[in-house]
Structure 1
């Protein structure tokens, strides 16, 4: 999770059970070094000793969310998360929460597109209880059919309540349109008919398929002794077995990710117009998405950003406007969202589409770019002041980003984003043919022909200016002949903090006589 702004948007696409957790910002506190151990069954255990507070945060992550679901079972991940609070093999309904809260602890769970996680925050003296509880919830839920039928009504009511929040509804509309042809094109909570159709056996089958130790991460952070935590983890989780092969998600074609009509207006009981544009974008581990993080901040990250200054303060066309880059595992979504009066929609839309068509990286000063990168990194660091924030970010680093080296790569990339990279990002991702516009408007409000204005100001095939050809990664390589058949090739690329060297020599089995076959492999192994 790359910024405070991304987290605010992701919160809209994360379904949390039990009592709402306090909002926190993840941290990239490099000083909080952890220890990563993998048990023989494949379970990753990440232990962070942090004695600043007499607390322990435990998180059990499962790589299974709404993007893993079959379309006919949309919402099963979130429904399962609800059901783990309805009793386990060892505790009746409600007892888990009572046991945790009786010790001064906190219990919760959440579901997103790519994962489900179970969490406890406990006084340090009771850290074992925190670990016991997340294990029991994930692997020993009773999944009683009668409780399931009752809980379906709760989830469907939750789904219906989401329709009452115009901003939440707008973001969901943007998500389902901008990524409509991908597994991210369904809401995390699912649909009423798919929720109704889930059986207790479906939930058990889902757990068997996805809740495998090698598909999970246990994180324990706080005032603990790491060896004691590791020993307890082995005791609790060491005997768990993997039930079979896990499917490998196929790559997504982001060029064909968007679905549905380009512009769509919904009417409802709202007093304002809520207008949004969504563009498919790269996923979390794709470092090209870092360029979009910086661009998003420049356009709408805070009160001094370009769109805030122009549309809110100078032109006074909107009540609010934001630009955010949300990154999931295999795809992302860049969104521009505004709230405004119906009478100002035409002026705003004409100006915005013209600005997007003419947008170029040179519009931003070097100081503005530097400030954006500084604020993004500051947002990543500040929550190290809380143990919950530390645990949340470090869990994301290990489980989502791919580890501490991935975090270092991301930081390096962000610090080195330059004008040419921003220009390339605009040309590649801000394409009008990929845009999906969704509007929530009051009943009876007169709106202009948004599609016609879009086609006129920003016709398909006209991206946000031409891609730069001067980026370091695209610079021409240098070939140096060293003589005697030796060639040195130098390829500049500043997008990752590495120097990579390959030495290739003529050879191999094709040059050997039949009785010498295997000599090349033996030589390589010896070297």
Structure 2
């Protein structure tokens, strides 16, 4: 249902009863591209200020009101819009609608709150400045847009943000936050007619007409190649190659999307296979067509070693220009269409995903019919059309090339230009086009399997259970609302089974288990996966090793067979193991580009002195050197087999079919497992510990924590409630350290359990001059929850927030499949997710305080700090 109020408010309602949740989004049609130069960052500041109080709610109360009703609330700003969104339990739909309306319609913009929030945004700018990928992205847009306001960062600049007054904020708000400039989108479990009546009551008297926006200066056609090479103290080079392309309403849109898919979407895409896998020139590579309201960019991006930059640029351009010369093969085009079409199905798994799609279509394309027209056009696109758009747009004379790397970068801007010119000259003419790539292996025949009908009765939480002759446990939960299926294999193991010598082997195993089988090469496996639009991913955690697959329901049988082939007969070829080991070593080498990750690594090593939880899951250069194919195969065979397997299947699948295939594929899988290692108990710290490191960054990162609970400990849920009282936008830490004292953009508390003792802690990212006060503030808040019980109101907010977030998070089949498999493997029971609500709601204030007293000993806290160099 779509309609418009007399005052111009656009309303879009879509009922979806798949889960008891509702997504509500207010799309304000103003973004950073609508700002004047002096206003740079003002749209984003509104995103912050609309959480800082209304005439009915004080600072922090918007988030608390939503979180206390089991909801999640946030916002984002882009070039073209600002979006306020919340997802909430359907029983609180009306309250959620009232809060969102109040937030957007009646914010007060208190001057003191404004000054504090400006400091928070400054911290956010510093945080982005410490991220190499964000700096490279900013440089790309500055290069590609010399006149258009897309060339400015959405977040603004420190000097403009600090200059904003309340009059500036109010003027911008009154000009743009008018009902005729807002689209209200609601998707989920609600009654549309009742919603319409309530919307009319809340919004019907809203007045005002949009005051117009600053004219966006059109970006002139590029007059030549542009490049920028930046040398900084980074461990990994970030490359962006981008060509200007039309906006989203262009007739060329679909062909450009398919060109990007052929190049970079899926494991068998040209860039992934040719540049990353075959030549090992980069750690990661991707492509996409960015098509906003105004003309966009066709982007090829990569992360790589500094010395690989010349070869990576050359080969990436070669692949792009090869597509320009010859177009995709028939098989490539078919796979690209299938992958792009399948994306619309996955988007339907969550109500917030559907709402975001509808809001985007309405505000950016002007029509909810855009999706239907897009997919109709997609089905008729030809290889010649793709070749044509590439020939028109993807030329070196239109190219923007950005390199952000270390001092070791072996080329400058002149050398980059020379490579681009050389590759342009080398583009074969259409008459001399390169030969088409060899045909891909044919997908398995899609003959629906038939199995004897068996009367089955589901157990708790609607889960069907069967134990196979091999010892494997199979759990099936039908969920027919969306035609997709998620499969998860889980084994006890992971980091917990490692020692100094074997550290990192499970992570390497997870990387290589999808890189070929006994009868298929890695390239053949990637091709078949993409043809099926299936995703296969190995997963190594702190307590488990696993393998996941996500399939369209129509492809379940061939995809599940491929899943079993990977799990039962992984290849572990010499070349594949060496390639993945090299990539894992790159991850280790480039960790320093993420100071927050460095802080968590410091914390783990300071907290755990004996237990394997102290290790970095990536391992070390020394440990990885010993992992040849024989060692990985022996590790896998000796620890993961049928009698240690829990297999969960969740989605649009018939139980008899699922169990029949599982029995066929896993019923005779013989196990050869060795005795699992004995893992010792980590003793509690006898005194306070502190670890620190200095880095060349703008922000400091601090983690203060304690040894925590195990999965089986009775205090587990009380600690979860405590973390929720402290964390979240309505929590104590956010309110005291961010809202009141402007110390940070990011501050949170977390509770991580394990088979053995996990940890409870607090993280904050702040300016170095605020670090001491931030730590003291954290300690003060922790001391308060130890000294006295939390309030009834805080308890209720935390309980409802945890229960609601849990329900929101379990909308996707893959989330349910993971929960079912892991909880069964850990001995908690497959149905544990269905008991979460009653367990959380049973927690009392006294239990929360008792848990705080038991686990949060401030005299024996562990602190890790990463701070800027002096």
**TM-score category (smaller protein):** 0.7 to 0.9
TM-score normalised according to structure 2 size? 0.47
Question: In structure 2, what is the Cα distance between the partners aligned to 1:284 and 1:329?
Answer: 6
Question: In structure 2, what is the Cα distance between the partners aligned to 1:311 and 1:362?
Answer: 18
Q: Which moved more, 1:187-196 or 1:245-254?
A: 245-254
Native 8 Å contact 1:62 1:115 kept in 2? yes
Cα deviations by residue, 1:452-492 (Å, 9 ceiling, x for unpaired): 22233326xx989679xxxxxxxxxxxxxxxxxxxxxxxxx
Q: CA deviation at 1:437?
A: 0.7
Query: How has the CA–CA distance of structure 1 residues 364 and 243 changed in structure 2, closer, same or farther, with 3 Å as cutoff?
Result: closer
Q: CA deviation at 1:182?
A: 1.1
Q: Structure 1 residue 81 and structure 2 residue 36: aligned?
A: no
Q: CA deviation at 1:168?
A: 2.3
Question: In structure 1, what is the Cα distance between the partners aligned to 2:199 and 2:147?
Answer: 40
2:18 corresponds to: 52
Native 8 Å contact 1:45 1:218 kept in 2? yes
The runs of 5 or more residues in structure 1 that have no matched partner are 1-34, 468-527
Native 8 Å contact 1:401 1:407 kept in 2? no
Q: CA deviation at 1:67?
A: 0.9
Native 8 Å contact 1:106 1:120 kept in 2? yes
SS of the equivalent of 1:265 reads strand
Match of 1:139 among 97, 100, 105: 105
Question: In structure 2, what is the Cα distance between the partners aligned to 1:113 and 1:202?
Answer: 19
Larger radius of gyration: 2
Query: How has the CA–CA distance of structure 1 residues 356 and 109 changed in structure 2, closer, same or farther, with 3 Å as cutoff?
Result: closer
Q: Structure 1 residue 350 and structure 2 residue 320: aligned?
A: no
Native 8 Å contact 1:287 1:413 kept in 2? no
Q: CA deviation at 1:198?
A: 1.1
Query: How large is the RMSD of aligned CA atoms in angstroms?
Result: 2.2
Q: Structure 1 residue 299 and structure 2 residue 260: aligned?
A: no
Match of 2:366 among 402, 410, 415: 402
Native 8 Å contact 1:88 1:140 kept in 2? yes
Question: In structure 2, what is the Cα distance between the partners aligned to 1:466 and 1:328?
Answer: 31
2:395 corresponds to: 431
Q: Structure 1 residue 113 and structure 2 residue 79: aligned?
A: yes
Q: Structure 1 residue 338 and structure 2 residue 289: aligned?
A: no
SS of the equivalent of 1:103 reads coil
Q: Which moved more, 1:292-301 or 1:277-286?
A: 277-286
2:238 corresponds to: 274
Higher relative contact order (CA 8 A, sep 6+): 1
SS of the equivalent of 2:249 reads coil
Q: Structure 1 residue 206 and structure 2 residue 172: aligned?
A: yes
Native 8 Å contact 2:238 2:405 kept in 1? yes
Q: Structure 1 residue 329 and structure 2 residue 296: aligned?
A: no
Query: How has the CA–CA distance of structure 1 residues 342 and 251 changed in structure 2, closer, same or farther, with 3 Å as cutoff?
Result: closer
Match of 1:385 among 349, 353, 376: 349
Matches within 5 A, 1:174-213: 174-213=140-179
Query: How has the CA–CA distance of structure 1 residues 243 and 305 changed in structure 2, closer, same or farther, with 3 Å as cutoff?
Result: same
TM-score normalised according to structure 1 size? 0.77
Native 8 Å contact 1:358 1:465 kept in 2? no
Q: Structure 1 residue 369 and structure 2 residue 337: aligned?
A: no
1:100 corresponds to: 66
Question: In structure 2, what is the Cα distance between the partners aligned to 1:445 and 1:182?
Answer: 31
Q: CA deviation at 1:238?
A: 0.9
Query: How has the CA–CA distance of structure 1 residues 102 and 356 changed in structure 2, closer, same or farther, with 3 Å as cutoff?
Result: closer
Q: CA deviation at 1:402?
A: 2.4
Match of 2:385 among 421, 433, 443: 421
Match of 1:450 among 416, 424, 434: 416
1:234 corresponds to: 200
SS of the equivalent of 1:90 reads coil
SS of the equivalent of 1:255 reads coil
Native 8 Å contact 1:85 1:93 kept in 2? yes
SS of the equivalent of 1:458 reads helix
1:246 corresponds to: 212
Cα deviations by residue, 1:89-119 (Å, 9 ceiling, x for unpaired): 1111111111111111111111111011111
1:3 corresponds to: none
Q: CA deviation at 1:249?
A: 4.9
Q: CA deviation at 1:332?
A: 1.4
Cα deviations by residue, 1:14-71 (Å, 9 ceiling, x for unpaired): xxxxxxxxxxxxxxxxxxxxx0011001111111111222212111111000111111
Question: In structure 2, what is the Cα distance between the partners aligned to 1:52 and 1:349?
Answer: 46
Question: In structure 2, what is the Cα distance between the partners aligned to 1:411 and 1:191?
Answer: 39
SS of the equivalent of 1:114 reads coil
Native 8 Å contact 2:324 2:394 kept in 1? no
Question: In structure 1, what is the Cα distance between the partners aligned to 2:428 and 2:154?
Answer: 32
SS of the equivalent of 2:221 reads helix
Native 8 Å contact 1:427 1:464 kept in 2? no
Q: Which moved more, 1:306-315 or 1:162-171?
A: 162-171
Native 8 Å contact 2:147 2:217 kept in 1? no
Native 8 Å contact 1:100 1:106 kept in 2? yes
Matches within 5 A, 1:35-50: 35-50=1-16
Native 8 Å contact 1:359 1:465 kept in 2? no
SS of the equivalent of 1:130 reads helix
Question: In structure 2, what is the Cα distance between the partners aligned to 1:216 and 1:81?
Answer: 14
Native 8 Å contact 1:254 1:280 kept in 2? no
Query: How has the CA–CA distance of structure 1 residues 127 and 356 changed in structure 2, closer, same or farther, with 3 Å as cutoff?
Result: closer
SS of the equivalent of 1:170 reads helix
Question: In structure 2, what is the Cα distance between the partners aligned to 1:83 and 1:446?
Answer: 45
Native 8 Å contact 1:38 1:45 kept in 2? yes
Query: How has the CA–CA distance of structure 1 residues 90 and 466 changed in structure 2, closer, same or farther, with 3 Å as cutoff?
Result: farther
Q: CA deviation at 1:210?
A: 0.8
2:281 corresponds to: 317
Question: In structure 2, what is the Cα distance between the partners aligned to 1:216 and 1:87?
Answer: 20
Q: CA deviation at 1:284?
A: 1.7
